[in-house]
Structure 1
Amino acid sequence: MTKTITFACMHFSIAFGVVYLLTGSVMVGGAVALIEPAINTVAFYFHEKLWNRLERRRHADQNPMLSPFSA
């Protein structure tokens, strides 16, 4: 859990720093630092769902006896 928390802090800091350097705005930097990780979290969920589906298909293709469509 400590590793996850420190990674989140690093992610927020980098997002804030990049946007602050580009805009000079603490408000915009802070907003992006909060919004971007939230959107990334949702995107990661769907990314994982897609990869799990692809892995299941690949596994079924390699093991035709396990396929629900095999006779």
Structure 2
Amino acid sequence: MLKTFTFAILHFSVAFGITYLLTGSIGISSTVALVEPMVNTVAFYFHEKAWKHYENRHTDKPQEKAVPHCA
């Protein structure tokens, strides 16, 4: 959990710092630093979903052979 928290702080700091360098505005930088991780989280969810779909279609799955049922 500590790793996740420190990564979140790093992510916020980078987003804030870059936006501040580009705009010089603390307000805009704060907004971008808060909104960007939320949008990125949603984008990541759909990326994972699409990637899983891709993997399922392109995985070499061995064909299951039918085993005769002995009664």
Taking structure 1 as the reference length, the TM-score comes to 0.84
Aligned-residue identity in percent: 58
The CA distance in 2 between the partners of 1:36 and 1:2, in whole Å, is 21
| Structure 1 counterpart of 2:12 | 12
| Structure 2 counterpart of 1:57 | 57
State the aligned residue count: 64
- Return the offset for 1:64: 5.1
Unaligned residue ranges in structure 1 (runs of 5+): 67-71
Greater C-alpha Rg? 2
| Structure 1 counterpart of 2:48 | 48
SS of 1:65 mapped into structure 2 = coil
The CA distance in 2 between the partners of 1:27 and 1:12, in whole Å, is 14
State the 4+ residue runs in structure 1 displaced beyond 6 angstroms.
Answer: none
Unaligned residue ranges in structure 2 (runs of 5+): 65-71
Structure 2 letter corresponding to 1:21: L
Q: What CA RMSD, in Å, does the superposition of the two structures yield over aligned residues?
A: 1.1
Taking structure 2 as the reference length, the TM-score comes to 0.84
More helix by share: 1
